[in-house]
Every structure is written in C-alpha cells, then in structure tokens.
Amino acid sequence: MRLLLLALCVAGQAFAAERDLPLWELGAGVGAFALPDYRGSDEGRGYALPVPYLVYRGRFLKSDRHGIRGTLFDSDRIDLNLSLAASLPVNSSHNTARSGMPDLEPSLELGPSLEFALWRAPERRDLLALRLPLRAAFTLESSPRAIGWVATPHLNLDLGGRGALAGWNFGLLGGPIYGSRRQHQYFYGVAPQFATPERPAYEAPGGYAGWQFIAAASRRYPRYWVGAFLRADTLRGAVFEASPLLRREHYVAGGAAIAWLLGESEQRVRAEE
C-alpha cells in the first residue's frame, strides 16, 4: 500500500493561472479506506484514519495537491522533485497467508522523481506528464532497516472540471512497478524457519512487480476539501508470482476523505492553483 494521501493527491494536480494564495494552509479531517493488507494479499481491512490537510507554497519546499516535495530543479518542461511514499503495518496474526511470520512494519520511501511535461493545455488546466520516481525504502520502527528500492514510472493525466463539474479536479495515473530483491523479499519472501506444508520457503527476486492504476477526484471548497480515489492493481507476470504469499493477482481498492480548513497565513505568495 502506498501512502493514502498520495493516492488522494493524484486527483488535485490540474493547473490553473497563477494568483495570490496563502503561504500555508492547515486543516484536519477523516478518511475511510478499504485496502488489501499488502499488494497481492487476498485479505484486507477497512480503515478510518485521521487526514491532515497541509499546504505550503514555499519556493523550494512545497506541500500541495502534488504531494509533499522539494523542487530540486524546475523548468517549463522538466522538473526534478523529491518523491515520498509509505505503507501501513500488517499484523501477521490477522492474515492467514502470513500466520506465524513476523509482522510487516510500516515503511517510508524517499527519493528523486524526474518529471517530463508531455502536453499542457493552453489555459494550463490539463496536463499529461511522464514521471520517473526512484525511492529507497526503510522500515519505521525503533531500529529502522533498509528494505531495498522501488521504481514506479508512470503517466499522469490531470484534468480540470468544466461546465457542471467546474471546480473539480480529476486525475488518472498508470504504470508498472519495479522493486529490488530486498524489497520483494520483505513482502513476499518466506524464510525456511517460517515454512509450512502449505507455505514453502521462497526467495523473492528483484524486478517487475506488476502494474498499478489510480483514478481520483477532489474539490476544494472555501472551508473544506473532499477527495476520493479508486486503485486497481495487477500482479500477473510479477517476478515473485510463485510466492505463496501472493494470493490474488488482481484487485481494486479505494477510499474517500474530507478535511476542514482550520487556518492560513496572512502572507500571500504567487502560485499556481
């Protein structure tokens, strides 16, 4: 599972003309999500989670509808940003496939993302971009461990609503996923001491890890924000397809959230919205 808010942020990346906006905005809300325990699991959970709403429009550091990022290089066609993602923990005692195995700790992924604008509408409301994130992954625990790297090259289409849908933003994202041997071993490997007759030992290789597609929508009202997303995954042909922990090759997940604006800065900056 990737960070839930990043999935919601896909919906809000359409561009508009520059205008004066607060340097920062702060809010809070709640989201409801239905997600598999991990990619390829045949068991999942429903989550009700707090949703922070933070917008910061600094010159180099930004937190907005693109997600949380630091702009390392910026041009009209090419951006080099910081990419951030994460995963939720999994209690193995609550997952049949992983019963008796160590729990999956929450993880953080961080790395650069090279982004190419392939097409942009004249009014800057719509954008088609190729994004090439490459992130190192670490567990979030008292003694963090490196668990390899993840690459998620994808096409991203941002559309601004028109007519009856004016004010809404829509996003479509799709592309393959690749991971290192250590990344795949963390999620799909079975060490010999945890092998059973139904769950043989397995060493996961690095490489192709399937495709992921996300469709999302969001809208910012004067005092609150709403968003929702659907995510479809296919793991057919993944290099770890033989893992006994991969129980489902195709699935759909999703969620929705609402957040209320609690405050904003008096300082205004020129920014796209």
Pick from 77-81, 142-146, 226-230: least confident: 77-81
As a whole number, mean pLDDT of residues 178-198 equals 98
- Structure confidence at residue 218 (pLDDT): 92
User: What's the whole-number average pLDDT of the chain?
Assistant: 88
Rg (the chain; Cα; Å): 19
- Structure confidence at residue 54 (pLDDT): 81
Largest CA distance in the chain: 64
**Which tens digit of pLDDT belongs to each residue from 191-246?**
999 999 999 999 999 999 999 999 999 998 999 999 999 999 999 999 999 999 99
SS3 letters across 118-155: EEECCCCCCEEEEEEEEEEEEECCCCCCEEEEEECCEE
> How does DSSP assign 45-67, residue by residue?
EEEEEEEEEEEEE-SSEEEETTE
CB 218 within 8 A of CB 226: yes
* 155 contacts: CB under 8 Å, gap ≥ 6: 118, 128, 129, 130, 131, 173, 174, 175
Say what percent of the chain tops pLDDT 70. Answer: 85
Specify the CATH number of the domain 4-272: 2.40.230
pLDDT band at 156 (very low <50, low <70, confident <90, very high): very high
Q: Which of 175, 178, 250, 158 is nearest to 213 (CA)?
A: 175
As a whole number, mean pLDDT of residues 5-13 equals 45
185 phi and psi angles, rounded to 5 deg: -65, -35
Of residues 56 and 255, the one with the higher pLDDT is: 255
What is this structure's pTM? Answer: 0.87
Q: For residue 197, give the DSSP letter.
A: S
Q: Where are the domains of the chain?
A: 4-272
- Structure confidence at residue 84 (pLDDT): 84
Q: Which of 38, 42, 1, 35 is nearest to 247 (CA)?
A: 42
